[in-house]
Amino acid sequence: MGRRHPGRSRRAPPRGSSVKPCKDCSAEWGGFPSPASQRRPAPHPGPRCATHWRVEQKRRKAAAHASTVQAKYGLDPGDYDRLYALQNGVCAICQRATGKTRRLSVDHDHETGLVRGLLCRPCNSMLGHGRDDPKFFGRAATYLIQPPARGLSNDQPPPQRAPEDE
Ligand SMILES: [Zn+2]
Ligand SMILES: [Zn+2]
């Protein structure tokens, strides 16, 4: 937000000037070059100043992502964001990855084509390694609860907590 100076006329720089007013800065001033836009060179596409070009890049990236997930997974505009909110902004499995550095992937059932949820890349690869088989992940859970090496009588360090059970 800038302050208007109604008493003073604001003119665009002369033709051929290397400093073009940023069109987004001007738009914020009702189409007239603002004091700010006259001061800000606009070398970026648009033409835009560095600040508005960053905003525009972000908007273009989001639009490109929306059209990609629509084409690939049939997600309607806004569906990705709604799903992300449903998952409280984290990967549905590890619940650690937020997708801030790299967007969470859209995971889908390869047989039905239906979207299941959003996952970080490691969790998505883990599902692939388990061939999407719930039994695989059941065995993994059992493995952690009852490691098979407990069945060895030798070579195991003695249990720390209940020596009388040996
Ligand atoms: Zn600008
Ligand atoms: Zn994850």
Q: Write down the pLDDT at residue 7.
A: 45
Measured between alpha carbons, how far is 52 from 29 in angstroms, rounded to an integer?
14
Taking the centre of ligand 2 as the mean of its atom positions, its distance from the CA of residue 55, in whole angstroms, is 29
**74-147 — its CATH code?**
3.40.1800.10
Q: Which residue has the higher pLDDT, 131 or 7?
A: 131
The token pair that represents 24 in the structure block? 């987004």
pLDDT per position as a tens digit, 88-113: 999 999 999 999 999 999 999 988 98
pLDDT at site 22: 85
Instruction: Quote the mean pLDDT of the chain.
Output: 83
Give the distance (Å) from ligand 1 centre to CA of residue 66: 25
* pLDDT tier for residue 166 given thresholds of 50, 70 and 90: very low
One-letter identity of residue 30: G
Convert 41-63 to b/e letters by CB count within 10 Å (16 or more is b). Answer: bbebeebbbeebbeeeeeeeeee
Residue 159: predicted pLDDT: 62
Domain boundaries, the chain: 19-73, 74-147
Cα–Cα distance, 120 to 97 (Å, whole number):
6
More confident residue, 22 or 139: 139
Q: What is the pLDDT of residues 17-73, one digit of tens each?
A: 456 788 888 888 776 656 655 566 677 777 898 899 999 999 999 999 999 999 999
Ligand at shortest distance from the CA of 126: 2
DSSP 34: P
Task: Give the C-alpha separation, 136 to 155, whole Å.
Answer: 28
CA of 103 to the centre of ligand 2 (A): 11
Nearest 5°: phi and psi at 16? 85, -5
**Which ligand is nearest to the Cα of residue 123, counting in written order?**
2
Distance CA 1, CA 10 (A): 17
Q: Can you give the pLDDT at residue 82?
A: 96
**Other CB atoms closer than 10 Å to residue 23's CB: what's the count?**
17
Residue 28 C-alpha to ligand 1 middle, in angstroms? 9
Q: Which pLDDT belongs to residue 98?
A: 97
pTM for the structure as a whole: 0.67
Q: How many residues does the chain have?
A: 166
- Residue closest to 124 by CA, chosen among 89, 94, 87, 98: 94
Whole-angstrom distance, CA of residue 25 vs CA of residue 8: 18
